[in-house]
Amino acid sequence: MGDLSSRDRSGPLSGDTCAEISVMSTPVDRWSTRARSGAKPNRCRSDQFWACNDQKSAEIRGGGGEEDFDSVDAKRAFVISEKYGDDYYEEYAVNEISDVSEKRFPKAIIVGVRKCGTRALLQFCGLHPQIVHAEREIHFFNDRANFYKGTTWYRQQMPFSLPNQITMEKTPAYFTSPDAPKRLKDLMRKDKIILVVRDPVDRIVSSWAQILENRVKKGLPPPNHTLEDKILNKAGRVNRREKSVRTSTYLKSYRQWYKLFKGRILVIDANELVDTPWKSVEKVETFLELPHLVNQSEFYFNSTRGFYCMNNGKGPGRPKCLNKSKGREHPPVSDKLRRKLKDFFFFYNKQFFQKIGTDFGWNH
């Protein structure tokens, strides 16, 4: 093996080069020796970097001609390998990439709102090479038991990342939690907050649809009450204390977040996320000060599902749609209930739009 110190470490590698090398890495037997010599336990094996994050896995060794490459990553891997040699990227991957790939605290958190497309936005943002995200909801800032496990536990729930990447997590329950805003502010002083919202009436109906579906999955009979029974009180008015109504009254919860994170909150319209997801991702890229790399070509419209899916899911050429539970068909809602809900939310929507400086048209 050549002398890396003289041949290949004459100058710093760019972030792009590091990213390219990280996807090229192949299993190296020397890793086991390195691990026994004291590698940090929260570091990700360089040759398994993308596998550890369960994303962006790619075939990295193409054939001899350019036409054999089935992905951009494969072509980059070949170019870097040809330039520096196979020995270089194997040695560099083990001794360098493993030193910088680690679990980091998130710099952006999707705090809500439940049933507004938070999972979709998280997955779509994951198309950006400089964004990695936790796959599950962490419930750190809203759950007392999790919160008292401490910040070390919280960081361990995050994916491995490189220094030039932003870690993201999403837990919609944060939005309505009375404790989450201050806890997050105290511990993550520079974090940016992302919020996805939709027409409150549609959100309530979507939540009800999930309740019905979950009962079917559990083998339980349908509830003995209707959505109208659930939402309206005995006087026939909207019950403002009902949980789904409180969650859909965005203004109250938003005020708490705005007070602590003014200037660091991005609000995404769920309708835009459904109709033109690349535009929503572009807003996130701008908000996080990242280059605009995700565009319309990353998506295709799935006529069967009725919404956009990703052309590349967990690897190039592997289309991926969200779970079948996403975009489920909504149960019918009476015109009477819909009208009462529209009237109830009119004032709250108007105040919310004034607060965020954008009108999403829910009152029209």
Q: What is the mean pLDDT of residues 224-238?
A: 94
Question: Lowest-pLDDT range, 44-48, 238-242, 320-324?
Answer: 44-48
Is 198 labeled as ligand-binding? yes
- Sign of dihedral through CA atoms 114, 54, 313, 20? positive
Q: Give per-residue burial for 288-316: e unless 16+ CB within 10 Å, then b.
A: bebeeebeeebbeeeeeeebbbbebbbbb
Contacts of 97 (CB under 8 A, 6+ apart): 18, 21, 22, 25, 46, 49, 162
Is 71 labeled as ligand-binding? no
Question: Residue 2's pLDDT is what?
Answer: 39
Q: What is the mean pLDDT of residues 23-52?
A: 37
Whether 234 maps to a domain, the answer reads: yes
- CATH code, domain with 309: 3.40.50.300
Residues spanned by the domain of 258: 98-356
Question: Residue 18's pLDDT is what?
Answer: 38
Is 240 labeled as ligand-binding? no
Is 15 labeled as ligand-binding? no
Catalytic residue list contains 234: no
- In whole angstroms, give the CA distance from residue 208 to residue 203: 9
Is 115 labeled as ligand-binding? yes
- pLDDT, tens digit, 9 for 90 and up, residues 289-310: 999 999 999 999 998 888 899 9
Whether 195 maps to a domain, the answer reads: yes
Whether 340 maps to a domain, the answer reads: yes
Whether 212 maps to a domain, the answer reads: yes
Is 308 labeled as ligand-binding? yes
pLDDT band with cut points at 50, 70 and 90 for residue 34? very low
Question: Residue 251's pLDDT is what?
Answer: 97
- pLDDT, tens digit, 9 for 90 and up, residues 176-187: 999 999 999 999
| Integer angstrom CA distances of residue 36 from 40, 46, 141, 240 | 10, 16, 36, 60
Question: Residue 248's pLDDT is what?
Answer: 97
Residues in the chain: 364
Whether 244 maps to a domain, the answer reads: yes
Q: How many domains does the chain have?
A: 1
pLDDT band with cut points at 50, 70 and 90 for residue 330? confident
Whether 347 maps to a domain, the answer reads: yes
Output DSSP code: residue 43: B
115: left (phi over 0), alpha (psi -120 to 50) or beta: left
Whether 118 maps to a domain, the answer reads: yes
- Entry pTM: 0.73
Whether 63 maps to a domain, the answer reads: no
Q: Which of 56, 103, 115, 192 is catalytic?
A: 115
Is 116 labeled as ligand-binding? yes
Is 225 labeled as ligand-binding? no
